[in-house]
Amino acid sequence: MKKYLTLENGDQFVGTAVGDLSKEIKGELVFTTSMVGYQETLTDPSYTNQIITFTYPLIGNYGISLHANQSPAVAASAVVMQEIATTVFHYQSVMTLDEFLKKSEVPGIAGIDTRQLTKIIRKHGTMKASLTNQPLAQSSFAKSKSVDMVVKSATFTTPQDQHPDHVVLVDFGVKTNIVESLKNFGANVTVVTPEASFDSIAALHPDGILLSNGPGDPEDWADFLPVIRELQSHYPLFGICLGHQLLALANGARTYKMVFGHRGINHPVKNLLTNEVVITSQNHGYAVDIDSVTDTPLEVTAIEINDKTCEGLRYPGRPVFSVQYHPEAAPGPHEATRLFNQFIDLMHTNGGVKHA
């Protein structure tokens, strides 16, 4: 069965339908350079309502595991691949990628030139696209829906009674492995929605605050910025990805939409304080305007080596910092996981800073 990928600029690719064969969708077309970690990528809430193009030519060769999901369901709206593996080779695999997409009711297209598609996105930028069962003569891209923000409907706690440290995580679309990483470094975690007030968070008696990753434009969360300003005055605070951008906005910096974003697991980041370079996992379409940080109380602590974008911030004199990349990986390298330990250490050394 044929499938048609039509881009906002008029380009069209014809391939073979995979996953949910009948479903047709519109979304924001992006690409990731990750060679592995397709299951974690598909279930990452930061990809909500996006059509993911995998630049690596063969996807799905080790199947699907029961333990790799980064959220309860697939977040991406569709998948684009050059080739999808039909035979899998891994002892933990319980189904093929195609079976996983069908079960999740997610459509996909295979058998197209993803190299050419990626070159188009790099040249023209991230754009809207449609995945259909028939060729489109004309597409109403202007009416297509923007990325929805992910908001949990309830607060939940992952207790570990043997660990005294308590982190309140504000969930803008958190990945499972962020919660697991905090637990692995010895913290009890309470997850709250961005609808929470400062007083409701303070009533939970946290030792530290984590602002999570999530999809969409950070400026859409303007209502929560006053809460961040209060939280950073009372508790150690760590921001990841979207949380990094929100910390910047809360302190007067600006953000902007990137041409095609950073999505992959091999982005080199230089720590400006130590001159150390780490390879990082990234997934974001917005960034902090590095020049705008100058007029804020924040300090830039890291940059992406390739394009010199802002990758880290701290608030001198306060136990507050953030990174644009994903220290929890899933997928990706684990070189930056020690940032969770750094966050825990800040909670220990700054326990008296909270006034809740």
Residue 252 in tokens = 């007067």
Residue 267 in tokens = 């982005």
Cβ burial 39-75 (10 Å sphere, 16+ → b, else e): bbbbbbbbbbbbbbbbbbeebbbbbbeeebbbbeebb
Q: Does residue 331 have a cis peptide bond before it, meaning omega lies within 30 degrees of 0?
A: yes
CA–CA separation, 15 vs 133, rounded Å? 10
Residue 177 is assigned to a ligand binding site: no
CA–CA separation, 194 vs 205, rounded Å? 17
Backbone region of residue 20 per phi and psi (left: phi > 0; alpha: psi in -120 to 50; beta: other values)? beta
Q: Read off the amino acid at residue 323.
A: V
Residue 51 in tokens = 């059509």
Q: Cβ distance 193 to 153 under 8 Å? A: yes
Residue 239 is assigned to a ligand binding site: no
Q: Cβ distance 238 to 304 under 8 Å? A: no
Q: Catalytic residues, which ones?
A: 241, 326, 328
Residue 242 is assigned to a ligand binding site: yes
Residue 200 is assigned to a ligand binding site: no
Alpha carbon of residue 57 to chain centroid: 23
Q: Does residue 135 have a cis peptide bond before it, meaning omega lies within 30 degrees of 0?
A: no
Residue 285 is assigned to a ligand binding site: yes
CA–CA separation, 256 vs 93, rounded Å? 40
Residue 213 is assigned to a ligand binding site: no
Alpha carbon of residue 173 to chain centroid: 8
Q: Report the candidate in 204, 265, 270, 254 with the shortest Cα–Cα distance to residue 231.
A: 204
Residue 272 is assigned to a ligand binding site: no
Residue 138 is assigned to a ligand binding site: no
> Which residues belong to the annotated binding site for L-glutamine?
46, 214, 216, 242, 245, 283, 285-286
> Which residues belong to the annotated binding site?
46, 214, 216, 242, 245, 283, 285-286
